Amino acid sequence: MLRLVYISPLACVPAYFAWVTDQSIKPYFEEHGMGEDAAHTGLVLAGCIIDIVLLYVLLLPSQTPGPGYQFASAVLAIVLLVFNCLTAKYSWEWRQVLDHAGETVLAKNCLALFIIVVFCLANAGIYLLLSALYRLAKCGIYGYEVASYVSSAV
């Protein structure tokens, strides 16, 4: 139950951007005849929803996850990576379009979405790099002394 208290505020960020995308950005693009950008809002919306689902799937289990859980979370993480890369690309392009159109509030929301997504991608990259280095050290590639030091520190 305590994990739910921690997860819920984290889920508010993608929920907010899902709402902004669906309620403000998509109608703007539809009003101004920008059908391709309006279609891309669906991808960003799906990415935000997958982000919320992934938060709950990865952080809620209280018991030791099995191999099926690990496979499912890996597949969700790959899907989320693809959607986050698309979200970063589209939100940056939308920020430029909306800024030139004088829609500063929507442009700032797109910029905030871009910054948050890039920050999350950078954190995920650092985590994967450190995880790989830890596993390499634990396997003995760097030698027994390093592996024993790393495992005693954790």
H helix and E strand count, the chain: 6, 0
- The region of weakest confidence among 7-21, 27-41, 51-65, 85-99 is 51-65
- What is the pTM assigned to this prediction? 0.70
Q: Phi and psi for 64 in degrees, rounded to 5?
A: -65, 125
Residue 53 lies in a domain: yes
What pLDDT was estimated at residue 140? 60
Residue 145 lies in a domain: no
- Chain-wide mean pLDDT for the chain? 77
- Strand (E) positions, 33-92? none
**Which pLDDT band holds residue 52 (cuts at 50, 70, 90)?**
confident
Average pLDDT over residues 66-95: 80
Q: What secondary structure letter does DSSP report for 142? A: S
Sign of CA dihedral 54, 55, 56, 58: positive
For residue 95, give its domain range.
2-121
Residue 146 lies in a domain: no
Average pLDDT over residues 90-101: 90
Of 108 and 143, the structure prediction assigns the larger pLDDT to: 108
Residue 57 lies in a domain: yes
Largest separation between any pair of C-alpha atoms in the chain: 64
Given a cut of 80, whether residue 128 has pLDDT beyond it is: no
Residue 154 lies in a domain: no
Residue 98 lies in a domain: yes
Residue 153 lies in a domain: no
Residue 152 lies in a domain: no
Of 143 and 123, the structure prediction assigns the larger pLDDT to: 123
Given a cut of 60, whether residue 125 has pLDDT beyond it is: yes
Tokens describing residue 21 = 């995308």
Question: How many domains does the chain divide into?
Answer: 1
Question: What is the distance between the alpha carbons of residues 69 and 86, in angstroms, rounded to a whole number?
Answer: 26
Sign of CA dihedral 87, 91, 97, 102: positive
What pLDDT was estimated at residue 145? 53
Question: What is the distance between the alpha carbons of residues 13 and 37, in angstroms, rounded to a whole number?
Answer: 22
